[in-house]
A = this chain, B = another copy of it.
Amino acid sequence: MVNTLAILAPGLLGGSVAQAARARGAAQRIVIWARRPEVRLALAEQPWCDAVADTPEAAVADADLVVLAPPVTRIAELVERIAPHLAASATLTDVGSVKAEICRHGTTTLAASATGATFIGSHPMAGGALTGWQNGDPELFAGRTCFVTPHDAPDEARLTALVRFWRDLGSEVVTVAPDQHDEIVAHISHLPQVVATSLGNVLGSKPANWSHLAGNGLRDTTRIAASDATMWIDILQQNRDEILRALSACEDELHHFKAALANRDWTDLRARLERGKTWRDSLS
């Protein structure tokens, strides 16, 4: 169990971390900082918030575990601001969905501040259509994958404690290097998003009534095209190189499918349909 858990700039994920930690007894004391004063006032009234801090520096002073929960583009500045104020025993983590840059910067910054605190990134694969800490859910992480991404080789006990924390919240934890994390999510999360968005743009250029004739196939295949654009711009910026590589692989695949269809190569097309089916069947 964590003694003091500090959560900075909670949105849906940060609020859910607080609620899950309280519901599952994963932290003794929960301290939260939010940028806007009116949010701090509202947070102070939540049963899963023991104390509200007026500054990030004050929030982290006694914390064993600090969870940074702002949008990915704001993580670096927050790390730099709190780094000199961390306890020697503190582990600093985040919940951003891209990891290489954040983990490199976090590790370097904490090493330079020489407090003894350690940075280890996290990425809980959870979320939904709703945003904001008000929509937090103590069961958000239950049964979901959470990546823990140590850069270099951090202290083994701290890594174990962070893994235990996410497990206590109900996650299935996978430990991988930050670079490999970014390659994996480029394929399993970011590529599907780009494909769904592009399919949506093709259909959106056709008469509107066409789409309304569609069955569930089109609806399922494009559901995530409805995701928030601002969040995805952040992800595209942070994981550009890996997404470009995954997109190239997808373009190759589509190109080969189209060439086989143009050449009436039914044997090749059947093999592609069957490989796709075998893979998808294995997912259920």
Contact = CB atoms under 8 A, between A and B. Distances in A.
Interface of A: 125-126, 144-145, 147, 174, 184, 187-189, 191-206, 208, 210-215, 217-230, 232-233, 236-237, 240, 243-244, 246-251, 253-255, 257-258, 261-262, 264, 266, 269-270, 272-284
A262 to B, nearest CB: 6
Given A188-B218, A193-B217, A222-B283, 5 more contacts: A189-B218, A200-B279, A201-B272, A214-B283, A228-B277
Contacts of A251: 251, 254-255, 258
Contacts of A210: 184, 187-188
Given A227-B277, A269-B236, A188 B202 contact: no
Contacts of A253: 198-199, 201-202
Nearest to A260: B236
With a 10 A CB-CB cut-off, give which of A191, A192, A219 has the most chain B CB atoms: A192
Nearest to A240: B261
Contact of A250 (B144, B213, B246, B254): B254
Closest 5 CB pairs of A and B: A200-B276, A204-B279, A197-B276, A229-B273, A188-B214
A145 B194 CA distance: 28
A148 to B, nearest CB: 12
A222 B196 CA distance: 10
A264 B276 contact: no
A250 B215 contact: no
Given A125-B215, A217-B192, A217-B193, A276 B201 contact: yes
A243 to B, nearest CB: 6
Contacts of A205: 249
A152 B167 CA distance: 65
B202 A257 contact: no
Contacts of A233: 266, 269-270, 273
29 contacts: A125-B214, A126-B215, A187-B210, A188-B203, A188-B210, A188-B214, A188-B218, A189-B215, A189-B218, A192-B218, A195-B254, A196-B276, A197-B257, A201-B275, A201-B279, A204-B275, A204-B276, A204-B278, A208-B282, A211-B282, A214-B283, A221-B221, A222-B280, A225-B276, A226-B280, A230-B270, A233-B273, A247-B254, A251-B254
